[in-house]
Structure 1
Amino acid sequence: MNANKPPPRYQQLAELIRSEILSGRLKPGDHIPTEMEICEQQKVSRHTAREALRLLTAEGLLKRRKGSGSVVQAPQTPVFAQALGDFEAILQYARDAALVLQNTRRATKRDLQPFELSDDYVRFEGLRGLSGQEPLALTRIFALASISPDETTLTQLGTSLSEWIEQEHGVTVAKVTQRMEAIAVGAADSEQLNVKEGSPALRTLRRYRDQQGRIILLSESLHPAGRFAYEMELKRQH
C-alpha cells in the first residue's frame, strides 16, 4: 500500500468545499454551484462532483434541494472525539468535558441492581459537555461511599474523579473495563439531552476496579448521535 497516494478526487473536491464552509467564506443559506458548474470550474467528471456533494450532504454541511441545487447548512454541534482503548484519553475526557451536577444521593438497591453492585455507593447524575454547546452526554456516576467526594468537591475538581480518589485516598485504579452499545433514548433522558424520545445514542459503561478487584467507581454515559465519537488507530503489522 502506498501511504503517499493522494485521496480520491471526489474527497479532494469535498475538502475544498468543506474548507470554504468552515472558514465562513460560504455561509448558511448560500447556494453553491451546480454539479455541471463544478465540473466546468474544477475540471472534474459529473460522477466526481456528485460524490463530493453527497459526502458533504451526509456530513450535514449541505442540503440538496430539488430544482435549486445545494445550499450550505449551519455546521452541526462539533463531535467530541476520544481515542478508543487509551486510558489517558478517558482521563482527559473527564478533565475537558465538565460535569454539571443535577442530582446527588445515596444509591438505592434499585439504582444498583442493573449494574450488579451491592456495596454502599453515592450516585451522582449530571450533564457533561463543553461550554456553550449542547450536552455531550448524560452521565451517572456511582462512587464507593467510603471514598466518595461530597457534591461541592466533585463540582470543583480540576481532574478526573478516579484521579482524585487515587490522590486523596491512595486507592489505585488497577483496571478499567468499558462496554459500549447503541440504544434508543428513553423519555426522561431525552428531555435532559434535548433530543427526541427514541433517538439513537451511544451508551458507555465503565467499571473502575482497585487492586483487590472491587468496583470503586462506575460511570454510565448516554451520548446522543452526532455529539461524540470514538477513534481507533489500526497499524499494519509487517
Structure 2
Amino acid sequence: MRLNENSPIPLYYQLENIIREKIERGEYKSGDKIPSERQFSEEINLSRMTIRKAISNLVQEGILERRRGQGTFVSEKKLDTFPGLIGFNEHIEMKGMKPSSKVLEHKIFLATYEIAKRLGIEEGDRVILTARLRLADNEPIGYEKSYVPYHICPELLDIDLSKGSIYKTLSKAGYKPTIANQEVEAILSDEEMAELLGGSVDQPILRNTRVTYSSTTPVEFSLNFYRGDNYSIHTTLSI
C-alpha cells in the first residue's frame, strides 16, 4: 500500500481510493473488519488524523461502517428497494443473490376487520394466510405475512411457497398483480423479529404495509418486515 506524497491528490483521498479498490477486488469483503487507524498508520506512515478523515468519508458514503467497541467494517450488501410486483425471488436474483424462503404458516384464516377492509371483503370471510421467512444467500432479510381472498385463488393452498410465487399463482388464476399501494415506516425490532431476522431487540426494522391489486380488485394484503441494515430506500425527485 503506497501513497504518492508528491501528487496534487490529497493523501486522505488517495487512501480512500486504495480502500475502495481493495473492496472492489474482494481483498476486503462485505462484513470484513478493516485495519485500525493505528495499523494503517504503521503500514503507510500516515498521520492518524489523515487516516481518520479517509475512513470517515467512506463511512458517510455507506461503504464502511463503524461498530462501537469492535472497529470499522466493510458494509454489508444492501438491497436498494423493496421487492416489487415481479416477486421476491426475481428481485433477489436481479441483485445477483440466491433467494430462498421458509414457510412458517400456510392456512385458511378468517379475515379480521382490518384485513377485510383492506381486501374489500366481509369480516370473517376466508383468506389464505402465508407467513414466510425470506433469505438472500441463506441470510434472513425479511419476514412476510400475506393474506389473499380464498375465493379468487383457492389453488394457492396447494402451492409449495418455499419455492413457488404468490404473484405467479395469482396471474395463472386470472388475477395478475398490476398495481400496489404501500406504506413504509421504521419500527424497532421486538423479540419475535429479532429471533426471526437475527440482530437484537430495538434494532431498526422497516415495515412495508401493502395492498396489491389486479386492475381494481384487491388480491393481496401483506405486512412485510425487513432488516434496516439490509435495505435502503432510493427515490427520484423532480420539480
Do they fold alike, i.e. is TM over 0.5? yes
Aligned partner of 2:161: which letter? L
Please list, as runs of the form range in 1=range in 2, the aligned pairs for 1:155-170 lying within 5 A after superposition: 155-157=162-164, 160-166=165-171, 168-170=172-174
CA shift at 1:177, angstroms? 0.9
Matched residue SS, 2:168: helix
Aligned to 2:25: 23
Please list, as runs of the form range in 1=range in 2, the aligned pairs for 1:83-98 lying within 5 A after superposition: 87=85, 92-93=90-91, 97-98=99-100
Note if contact 1:179-1:206 (Cα within 8 Å) is conserved in structure 2.
yes
Please list, as runs of the form range in 1=range in 2, the aligned pairs for 1:1-238 lying within 5 A after superposition: 13-21=15-23, 23-25=25-27, 28=33, 30-31=35-36, 32-34=39-41, 37-38=45-46, 49-57=51-59, 59=62, 61=64, 73=73, 75-82=74-81, 87=85, 92-93=90-91, 97-110=99-112, 113=114, 116-117=117-118, 118=122, 119-133=125-139, 135-146=140-151, 147-148=153-154, 149-150=156-157, 152-157=159-164, 160-166=165-171, 168-211=172-215, 213-234=216-237
What is the identity percentage for the equivalent residue pairs of Structure 1 and Structure 2?
16
Tell me how far apart the structure 2 counterparts of residues 233 and 178 of structure 1 sit (CA, whole Å). Answer: 17
Matched residue SS, 1:99: strand
Tell me how far apart the structure 1 counterparts of residues 103 and 59 of structure 2 sit (CA, whole Å). Answer: 36
Structure 2 gap segments, 5+ residues each: 1-9
Matched residue SS, 2:186: strand
Question: TM-score, normalized by length of structure 2?
Answer: 0.69
Tell me how far apart the structure 2 counterparts of residues 104 and 227 of structure 1 sit (CA, whole Å). Answer: 26
Aligned partner of 2:224: which letter? S
Q: CA separation of 1:38/1:144 partners in 2, compared to 1, >3 Å: closer, same or farther?
A: farther
After superposition, what is the alpha-carbon deviation per residue over 1:5-35, rounded to whole angstroms, capped at 9, x for unaligned? xxx9866642431332453545746444239
Tell me how far apart the structure 2 counterparts of residues 65 and 87 of structure 1 sit (CA, whole Å). Answer: 38
Q: CA separation of 1:82/1:11 partners in 2, compared to 1, >3 Å: closer, same or farther?
A: farther
After superposition, what is the alpha-carbon deviation per residue over 1:208-234, rounded to whole angstroms, capped at 9, x for unaligned? 1123x3321122211112112232345
Aligned partner of 2:213: which letter? R
Tell me how far apart the structure 2 counterparts of residues 11 and 87 of structure 1 sit (CA, whole Å). Answer: 41
Structure 1 gap segments, 5+ residues each: 1-7, 41-45
CA shift at 1:123, angstroms? 0.7
Q: CA separation of 1:77/1:127 partners in 2, compared to 1, >3 Å: closer, same or farther?
A: farther
Q: CA separation of 1:144/1:94 partners in 2, compared to 1, >3 Å: closer, same or farther?
A: farther
Tell me how far apart the structure 2 counterparts of residues 199 and 151 of structure 1 sit (CA, whole Å). Answer: 36
After superposition, what is the alpha-carbon deviation per residue over 1:181-200, rounded to whole angstroms, capped at 9, x for unaligned? 11112222221112222221
Question: TM-score, normalized by length of structure 1?
Answer: 0.69
Note if contact 1:57-1:64 (Cα within 8 Å) is conserved in structure 2.
no
Tell me how far apart the structure 1 counterparts of residues 183 and 138 of structure 2 sit (CA, whole Å). Answer: 29
Aligned partner of 2:117: which letter? E
Tell me how far apart the structure 1 counterparts of residues 66 and 179 of structure 2 sit (CA, whole Å). Answer: 45
Q: CA separation of 1:34/1:23 partners in 2, compared to 1, >3 Å: closer, same or farther?
A: same
After superposition, what is the alpha-carbon deviation per residue over 1:135-165, rounded to whole angstroms, capped at 9, x for unaligned? 11111111221215125432332xx422331
Please tell me the root mean square deviation across aligned C-alpha atoms, in Å: 3.9
